[in-house]
Structure 1
Amino acid sequence: MKKFVGISCTLFCLVAGTPASAEWFEVTGMANIKNGDHSKARRKAVNDAITQALLFSGASVTSVQTVTDGILTQDQLKLSANAEIQSANVISESQVGDTWQVTLHVDIMPQTEKCPISAYNKQIAITQSQLKNKHQATLGQIFDIHKATSERLYQTLNSQRASLEPVPYYAQPIEVNKFFNQRFDYNEQLIETVTANTNSQYVLLSQITDISGGEKLNGSLAFWKDDKYVRNFKMDFALFDALSHERIWQQQYSAQGIWPFEKTKLIDVYSDTFWQTDFADEIQSILNQVVIDLNGAVACLPTKGKILHIEGDRVVINLGRMHGLENGQLLNIAHNNPITDGDGRKYLHQIKTINQVRVVQINAQNAIAVNISQRPLNNIQLNDLVEIQVEPNESFSLIDE
């Protein structure tokens, strides 16, 4: 299992003659050394360190692999061009037991245009992934690999979250095939069920499409050695907005790793024995990248919620402390009036209103807000939408889609 060491210090360094200032971070990354491959362990340790720096600073990046695609020398890491990272210098690197440890000094330039709404969290339901080709799990009898991977993703997102607050929903199997086919004729009721049980604005669905075993690494002449195989791993992800049922992000990831066990050996996919293998390490690398991509996909999207209860000039909403809500916050209201076509498909239709409410009491998952206008909330209904107003002086920001 990959170990993470947090940010040891953060300082602001003013650059003379420039309006912007860079932040520098001293970060330490670690990765296990598998099969004596020090080069791979060093690369993963660098990725680990830079991932921490990026997530901590709030910088946006599409791929850590792209950022760290360069040559690691004794004193400097040459990075591919990226507007966010100015430089990354190696302070020290060494082997510590069975791990490789790299400490970097990373200079990150703040974004010229940061999304003010990124300061607010969005809850995301992590559902149980589906194993598409179950017969491929025969090698090692890893028929629960989809469950273990979903749990691992939740743990990874929970430890590295930036814009997203994960909610576990991986104990219950769900059918996701239709969400990934070309016709895209999925049942929206599944999204409704998940978000109703998790109070989440987003629902993440996934499926593992390939865990097939490849060629044997050991030759027939080396019969005295343990069997080792190259094994594939491919996984699809799709993120849905629970309020509009729209698919707002989709990505496929693939990797290969060494499967070090004999063909007849039964493997517990929840054990450290499995997660310390090269194959599982590749899975974890994918999950680390998924966390970064998910945060990037939603960072500039508004945090929205629903009205759960109305009592006079007071409303109860499903946004709370977990979302970054504070007392005194202003919320805009829009009617949720979906349009249904002849085939029964629903389309998001939001009707803007001039109504605003102010938060007066906050709980972990919900809050109470009061009407700030002399106009009564006569036309406001249950399940109408609320959105955090980021700039009080700006006009109403909900988009009529």
Structure 2
Amino acid sequence: MRVVTLAFFISLAAIGLPAQARWIEAQGQAPIINGNVSDARAKAIENAIQQSLMAAGGEVSSVQQIVDGVLQNTQVQWRGQGNVDQVDIVSEEVRDNRIYITVRADIWQRDKQCQASEYRKSVTVAPFELARREQANYGDIYAIGEVAAERFARDLSSGNSHLLVKHTLQRPVGLDEALQQLSLQQLGEIARRVGEHNDSQYVITAIFDDLSVASERGWLSTWSNPQRHFALTFYLLDAYSGETITRARISENAEWTYARNAKVDVAADQFWREPFGAVLAQNMQDVVQGFDAKLRCQETRGRIVQVDAQTIQINIGRVNGVKTGDQLKVVQEANFIDQQGHYRQKWHVSDYTAVVQQVNDTTAVATIGNAGFLGNVQIDDWVVPVIKR
């Protein structure tokens, strides 16, 4: 049973932070699993409130991420710049075995807002890997890693997300091998390579640690469906430094409603409506919201891909939120390999400011007013938006 705790943190003038009230309507939805409408209703309300807070610029937080992003239980709470004072349910509808709930939330908005969230950060999602491929033989679900990654990527780019999925790769990147060798250096090399090849600031990959099916015991097992366990660990990687920003692990049991010798189509929508697929999708959505909140206030970086006289071209554009006239600060890299053979990132913020002159979907062109800058600014340096205060 999924337990949902709604903990509303009210931000009032008495605590000394300026605030303004704002009513926001948002819709949440959730699948009805095993006929449990009350559980689905709680999840739909939770989702709707999360959407309201994110629309208001608030930070969605969860006790599931209290230890470096590792999901440890199923209680959820919200806090941050947007604080819920009152929630009214506007409408409620059950359709196609899902429940849809629209809420109207009174959100007190603090004046102190995140200043680094104007641009969407580019992300590449790699196919999820299987630590024990033989477990996928039950149900012939070898494709679950690729399909789950595609679904995760769609959720990551939807709604009010501060992230933009540039690519969903078709081939695994070697996460399982890096983990077996306990090599953070290899993991960092993967992140930098994938990020550079796909114009992404972050790389997300994951591995199914477990997809086992519970042993069938007793005469009742003849008429009942077995339980299948999943454990899925996510890695959020910085594609510039190669560092692991955080990880998140989701783990749960769910009813497996297919025959023992069935070949299950995990790409079919029906799979994600069945109990196992629905619970997996629900847990992945928690990770999506956690990662989005984790990166919301991080600076968006654009890589310089071309330098010509006093003009630079960068690998972020209209889809990231770049506009003509935006000002960008040039950051120059001086990365190196230390004596132990480890990659180290080093940079300094230059005196150069670029002004965006032309914006395309995925790139932008900017000019730098400083005379004689060409010898200093190079390809693979990067830019960050100048925060207007």
TM-score by length of 2: 0.85
1:155-234 aligned at under 5 Å gives the runs 155-177=154-176, 179-180=178-179, 182-214=182-214, 216=216, 220-221=219-220, 223=222, 225=223, 227-234=224-231
Question: How many Å separate the matches in 1 of 2:354 and 2:227?
Answer: 58
The residue that corresponds to 2:137 in the other structure is: 138
TM-aligned CA distance change 1:139 to 1:118, over 3 Å: same
Of 56-65 and 41-50, deviating more is 56-65
1:295-334 aligned at under 5 Å gives the runs 295-334=292-331
The residue that corresponds to 1:122 in the other structure is: 121
Report how far residue 221 of structure 1 moved: 4.7
AA in 2 matched with 1:274: F
Q: For 1:274, what is the secondary structure of its paired residue?
A: coil
**Ranges in structure 2 where 5+ consecutive residues have no aligned partner:** 1-11, 66-75
TM-aligned CA distance change 1:160 to 1:81, over 3 Å: closer
Report how far residue 64 of structure 1 moved: 8.8
The residue that corresponds to 2:57 in the other structure is: 58
Report how far residue 329 of structure 1 moved: 1.4
Question: How many Å separate the matches in 2 of 1:86 and 1:43?
Answer: 18
The answer to whether the 8 Å contact 2:185/2:342 transfers is no
TM-aligned CA distance change 1:27 to 1:371, over 3 Å: closer
Report how far residue 82 of structure 1 moved: 4.2
Q: For 2:49, what is the secondary structure of its paired residue?
A: helix
Question: How many Å separate the matches in 1 of 2:331 and 2:78?
Answer: 42
Question: How many Å separate the matches in 2 of 1:285 and 1:206?
Answer: 16
Over the aligned positions, Cα root-mean-square deviation in angstroms equals 2.6
Q: For 2:158, what is the secondary structure of its paired residue?
A: helix
The answer to whether the 8 Å contact 1:55/1:160 transfers is no
TM-aligned CA distance change 1:139 to 1:93, over 3 Å: same
Question: How many Å separate the matches in 1 of 2:52 and 2:166?
Answer: 24
The answer to whether the 8 Å contact 2:190/2:242 transfers is no
Report how far residue 164 of structure 1 moved: 0.4
Question: How many Å separate the matches in 2 of 1:389 and 1:208?
Answer: 40
Q: For 2:87, what is the secondary structure of its paired residue?
A: strand
The residue that corresponds to 1:11 in the other structure is: none
Q: For 1:282, what is the secondary structure of its paired residue?
A: helix
Question: How many Å separate the matches in 2 of 1:183 and 1:194?
Answer: 17
Of 171-180 and 292-301, deviating more is 171-180
The residue that corresponds to 2:70 in the other structure is: none
Report how far residue 27 of structure 1 moved: 3.0
2:151 paired with 1:152: yes
The residue that corresponds to 1:41 in the other structure is: 40
1:1-400 aligned at under 5 Å gives the runs 19-63=18-62, 82=79, 84-93=83-92, 95-96=94-95, 98-177=97-176, 179-180=178-179, 182-214=182-214, 216=216, 220-221=219-220, 223=222, 225=223, 227-391=224-388
The answer to whether the 8 Å contact 2:354/2:367 transfers is yes
Question: How many Å separate the matches in 2 of 1:81 and 1:379?
Answer: 45
Question: How many Å separate the matches in 2 of 1:65 and 1:348?
Answer: 31
Report how far residue 203 of structure 1 moved: 0.8
TM-aligned CA distance change 1:202 to 1:16, over 3 Å: closer
TM-score by length of 1: 0.82
The answer to whether the 8 Å contact 1:178/1:186 transfers is no
The answer to whether the 8 Å contact 1:95/1:101 transfers is yes
Which structure is richer in relative contact order (CA contacts within 8 A, separation 6 or more)? Answer: 2
The answer to whether the 8 Å contact 2:117/2:297 transfers is yes
AA in 1 matched with 2:206: S
AA in 1 matched with 2:304: I
AA in 2 matched with 1:322: V
Question: How many Å separate the matches in 2 of 1:192 and 1:183?
Answer: 15
Question: How many Å separate the matches in 2 of 1:80 and 1:156?
Answer: 20
Question: How many Å separate the matches in 1 of 2:92 and 2:306?
Answer: 57
The answer to whether the 8 Å contact 1:58/1:162 transfers is no
The residue that corresponds to 1:8 in the other structure is: none
Question: How many Å separate the matches in 2 of 1:258 and 1:209?
Answer: 18
**1:225-249 deviations in whole A, cap 9, x for unaligned?**
4x41211111111111111212212
Question: How many Å separate the matches in 2 of 1:391 and 1:81?
Answer: 28
The answer to whether the 8 Å contact 2:128/2:208 transfers is yes
The answer to whether the 8 Å contact 1:127/1:170 transfers is yes
**1:318-374 deviations in whole A, cap 9, x for unaligned?**
121122111111111122110211232211100332112211111111111111234
Kindly, what percent of the aligned residue pairs are identical? 27
TM-aligned CA distance change 1:183 to 1:371, over 3 Å: closer
The answer to whether the 8 Å contact 1:123/1:164 transfers is yes
Q: For 1:117, what is the secondary structure of its paired residue?
A: coil
Number of residue pairs matched?
363
Report how far residue 102 of structure 1 moved: 3.0
Report how far residue 107 of structure 1 moved: 2.0
**1:190-236 deviations in whole A, cap 9, x for unaligned?**
2233123321111112111111112559x62574x4x4121111111
